[in-house]
Structure 1
Amino acid sequence: MPFLFLLALFVVVPILEIYVIIQVGQAIGAVPTIALLIVDSILGSLLMKSQGRAAWRRFQLALAEGRVPGREVLDGVLVIFGGAFLLTPGFCSDIVGALLLLPPTRAVIRRIVVRRFSFSVLTDAPSPRFRRGPGGSTGPGDADVEGTATEIDPRRLP
């Protein structure tokens, strides 16, 4: 699976980007296409800057309120990825970057990411579909947890 992801990332995506750039260049001309890519990168960096600052303010507000800033951290990560996609030359990556930077679409993507990874992060399990519970059923509540606990003297911590 990681091989296929890397193959898509480093081979298929650049070929797709080049194809789209060529098609746009044929439709509007080479100079307007290059100008559009440059303007797109500049606007993307400005959008990343404003959204990054907003995410940082929300992060600081959550800390000041004594809340765990989980949502704010994820927003910051999505803003960083969105900015990287927008700064990368190409129209397909710009679309992905814009989706990650615009607050309404970022909220949808954030919900998808949280839903996809929350169970495995909370339980440190690969996925609920690989566990069999009582009676052969599967699901988040079916996992048995075994382990040991050791009391540690806080004075001995570094």
Structure 2
Amino acid sequence: MGILFLLFAVMPIVEIALLIQVGGVIGGWNTVAIVIVTAFIGAYLVRREGLSTLQAAQQKMNQGQMPGEELAQGLLLLVAGVLLVTPGFVTDFIGLLFTVPVTRKLIGKALLVKLLQSKHATVQFSHTQQFHQHYQARNKADDGDIIEGEYHAHDEQNKPQLPNEDKH
């Protein structure tokens, strides 16, 4: 409850007060320009870092490893993106901390450790080469009836095999 109160009640007040103070020193339009520029730069940085984090996670999954740190960093990048496009200097600073690789890795590791120590976290990861497809198809017949069907891929080429199909 305390953290939510800080986020939704105190933080906007702090941001508004800081924006007014900075606007009084450098001017209102200059302050608005800084807020807009930081949003664009932040969006660019989050995208660039997000793609590299996604690639690292995919590499770990291909090796059959759990990409825990990469998932934590991805969560931080998601939060950073929201913070960087939110007008304000405090949110921009925190978003920048979550975006810079050095601080993001440190915060991500701490977040992962805290999550794993939590009694509410369960981690499961499996890596298999077997692929199973399940589709439901709905086709409308000429007479207006709806025909439902499904099939499962059972062979190596993932060729659909219909349930009533004759096997040669």
TM-score by length of 1: 0.73
What's 2:69 paired with?
71
The list of structure 1 runs, each at least 4 consecutive aligned residues, that deviate by more than 4 angstroms after superposition, is 121-124
Larger Rg: 2
What is the correspondence of 1:105-120 to structure 2 with a 5 Å cutoff? 105-120=103-118
- 2-side partners of 1:123 and 1:38: how far apart? 38
- 1-side partners of 2:69 and 2:88: how far apart? 29
Most deviating of 26-35 and 109-118: 109-118
CA contact (8 A) 2:115 2:121 kept: no
> Between Structure 1 and Structure 2, how many residues are aligned?
122
Most deviating of 103-112 and 26-35: 103-112
What's 1:59 paired with?
57
Flag structure 1 segments of 5+ consecutive residues without an equivalent. Answer: 125-158
3-state DSSP of counterpart to 1:89: coil
Residue 14 (str. 1) matches residue 12 (str. 2):
yes
What's 2:35 paired with?
37
**RMSD after superposition:** 1.5
- 1-side partners of 2:48 and 2:121: how far apart? 35
What's 2:24 paired with?
26
Determine which structure has the larger helix proportion and give its number.
Answer: 1
What is the correspondence of 1:79-90 to structure 2 with a 5 Å cutoff? 79-90=77-88
Paired letter, 1:17: E
Residue 118 of structure 1: how far off its partner (Å):
2.1
CA contact (8 A) 2:72 2:111 kept: no
3-state DSSP of counterpart to 2:11: helix
Residue 18 of structure 1: how far off its partner (Å):
0.2
What's 2:96 paired with?
98
- Cα 1:93–1:123 shift into 2, 3 Å: closer
- 2-side partners of 1:85 and 1:43: how far apart? 12
- 2-side partners of 1:123 and 1:53: how far apart? 26
Paired letter, 2:89: F
Percentage of matched positions with identical amino acids: 34
- Cα 1:108–1:7 shift into 2, 3 Å: same
Residue 123 of structure 1: how far off its partner (Å):
7.5
Residue 113 of structure 1: how far off its partner (Å):
1.5
TM-score by length of 2: 0.68
Determine which structure has the larger strand proportion and give its number.
Answer: 2
CA contact (8 A) 2:98 2:104 kept: yes
Paired letter, 2:81: G
